[in-house]
Amino acid sequence: MSSQLIIASTFLLAMILSVVSLPQSAPIEVAYVRPEWITLVLIYWVIALPKRIGMRIAWIIGMLTDVLLGSLLGQHALIYMLVAYISYTLYQRLRMMSIWQQSLFVFVIILLSQILNFWAVRITGVVEWTSWYFLPSVISSLMWPWIFMSLRSVRRRFNVI
Amino acid sequence: MVDHWTSWLELVRASLTTVVTPVIVAADFPAKTLEYLSVATSTRKALIQEITRLDQTHLLLRAQTQKMRALTAENNRLRILLGSAEKSQDNVVVAELIGIDPDPKTHEVIIDKGAVNGTFIGQSILDAQGLMGQVISVSRYTSRVLLISDPSHSVPVQVARSNLRLVAQGSGATSHLNLMFVQNSADILAGDLLISSGLGGRFPAGYPVAIVNKFESQLGNPFAFVTAVPSALLDRGRYVLLVFTEDNQYSPSEKFYDKNLD
């Protein structure tokens, strides 16, 4: 199977997971437990295949995420480009790190993207800062080892290079 | 930023949304399957009971509609006699809710009717109990609805009992709306029904919006603190109604009206 298709389907799965509706009886704070699936997948592919997945792909994914979540067009595109840029400049170092050190990196990156997201929404609308905004980065960094290992097994299984 | 201040990207957004429609449908699949399974596994007896109950409700509503038709005709005749404009009937189309915004701060939902079904920006959305919100972006097969509980949304209302005109603003929680700029001496009580006033030309007049649950006059403050509970089940239910009003046809000039301003 062509490797583009594999990469595209992981992104597609991440998008589905980031909009799948929660049970309506769940308390509203449960929504903050959702990891940043798309950012995690993006970071993985940039580290794994820096020659193929770069800022251009990040921009396209970001635009699609923007329409999917109804945010401003370009908001996620810009943030994902930044994420891809940082991951790309550090990919050689990141590959050397242990998986828990990578988790720490993921924590910082996702916190940064959360703050940028909050700024963009703050400028254009009415939102208040709550400490709940820290939760997705914590959850995402805890999810990272599993995301990393499953995507690596997918990459090896289908020989994506 | 361009997207926020201008409407140039509306077309880009519409076509890109059409591209991601499969993702939205796929994300809705578990909920839909669960609903289907709950119907498929319910017993024959429960289904028969359900049908009987629905039949009775149907009959009751039919009876009420008969009376309603006569009253509407009479009302219009009286309006003609008074020389005021005739009120038109609104048509509704049932739409299914297929997505909810994952961010709990924004109260937006996605419905399965889009441009091909004639949906337009600014169209009102109801459920069986009352006003739910308005359409803010339309793609080919889906559209995005801003609920009245979103903090950036306000709806012009009037008190059904005293015809007092007010503005109900979303609070960010589906449990209540805030009523803005209510004077301490205003004729408003807990339990009053608020209906849409139709001012501003965005929402059709006369649909129930909320019921006042708290009125606290604040000494030393020019305005009272008033909240109301939305009549519509904003966070429950899968089916909504799209309103097509005859006199409020889609006009291009108001297509890109800023959603934050009304």
Whole-number pLDDT of residue A144? 93
CB contact under 8 A, B1 and A72: yes
Residue A161 belongs to some domain of the structure: no
Average pLDDT, stretch A19-42? 80
Helix (H, G, I), strand (E, B) or coil at B84: coil
Whether chain A has a CB inside 8 Å of the CB on B259: the answer is no
Whole-number pLDDT of residue B86? 63
Question: What CATH number does domain B88-148+238-261 carry, 3.20.20.70, 3.40.50.450, 2.40.10.340, 3.40.50.1950?
Answer: 2.40.10.340
CATH superfamily, domain at B154-230:
Rod shape-determining protein MreC, domain 2 (2.40.10.350)
Distance CA(B23)–CA(A66), nearest Å, equals 13
Residue of B12, B105, B169 to mutate, interface with A, max A Cβ within 10 Å: B105
Chain A positions with Cβ closer than 8 Å to B? 12, 15-22, 24, 28-29, 31-32, 34, 63-64, 66-70, 72-74, 121, 124-127
What percentage of chain A carries pLDDT values higher than 70?
A: 94
Q: pTM for the complete prediction?
A: 0.80
Average pLDDT, stretch A117-140? 81
Contact B208, B231 (CB under 8 A): yes
Among candidate residues B258, B138, B134, B255, the one with its CA nearest the CA of residue B196: B134
Whether chain A has a CB inside 8 Å of the CB on B169: the answer is no
CB contact under 8 A, A28 and B99: no
Among candidate residues B133, B104, B115, B148, the one with its CA nearest the CA of residue B13: B115
B126: β partners: B131, B241
Which residues lie closer than 8 Å to B173 by C-beta, 6 or more apart? B149
CB contact under 8 A, A21 and B28: yes
Residue of A68, A69, A72 to mutate, interface with B, max B Cβ within 10 Å: A68
Whole-number pLDDT of residue A109? 93
Residue A16 belongs to some domain of the structure: no
Residue with tokens 């803010």: B136
Average pLDDT, stretch A60-71? 89
Residues in A closer than 8 angstroms to B105, CB to CB, are 121, 127
How many domains does chain A contain in total? 1
What percentage of chain A carries pLDDT values higher than 90?
A: 52
Task: Give me the domain span that covers residue A71.
Answer: 3-10+34-156
Q: Count of CB contacts below 8 A, A vs B?
A: 77
Could you list the mean pLDDT of each consecutive 10-residue stretch along chain B, which spans 262 residues?
A: 65 83 84 82 87 93 88 85 70 86 83 89 88 90 91 90 90 87 85 88 88 86 88 84 69 44 43
Whole-number pLDDT of residue B255? 44
- Least CB–CB distance from B16: residue in A24, A28, A64: A64
Whole-number pLDDT of residue B251? 45
Residues in B closer than 8 angstroms to A19, CB to CB, are 23-24, 27, 99, 102
Contact B245, B88 (CB under 8 A): yes
- Least CB–CB distance from B4: residue in A16, A31, A72: A72
pLDDT digits (tens, 9 = 90+) for A137-158: 899 999 999 999 999 999 998 8
Whole-number pLDDT of residue A32? 78
Whole-number pLDDT of residue A25? 64
Whole-number pLDDT of residue B76? 83
Whole-number pLDDT of residue B134? 92
Residue A133 belongs to some domain of the structure: yes
Distance CA(B229)–CA(B175), nearest Å, equals 6
| Smallest Cα distance from B239 to chain A, Å | 14
ipTM: 0.77
- Least CB–CB distance from B16: residue in A32, A67, A126: A67
Among candidate residues B208, B128, B141, B137, the one with its CA nearest the CA of residue B168: B208
- In terms of DSSP bridges, do strands B131-138 and B165-170 run parallel, antiparallel, or are they unpaired? unpaired
Whole-number pLDDT of residue B261? 44
Amino acid at A15: M
CB contact under 8 A, A67 and B19: yes
One DSSP character per residue, B163-200 reads --EEEEEE-SSTT-EEEEEEETT-S--TTPEEEE--TT
b/e burial code for range B10-31 (CB count within 10 A of at least 16 → b): beebbebbbebbebbbbbbeeb
Whole-number pLDDT of residue B5? 63
Among candidate residues A60, A42, A161, the one with its CA nearest the CA of residue A109: A42
CB contact under 8 A, A64 and B19: yes
Whether chain A has a CB inside 8 Å of the CB on B180: the answer is no
Among candidate residues A143, A120, A32, A107, the one with its CA nearest the CA of residue B102: A32
CA-based nearest residue in chain B for residue A117: B103
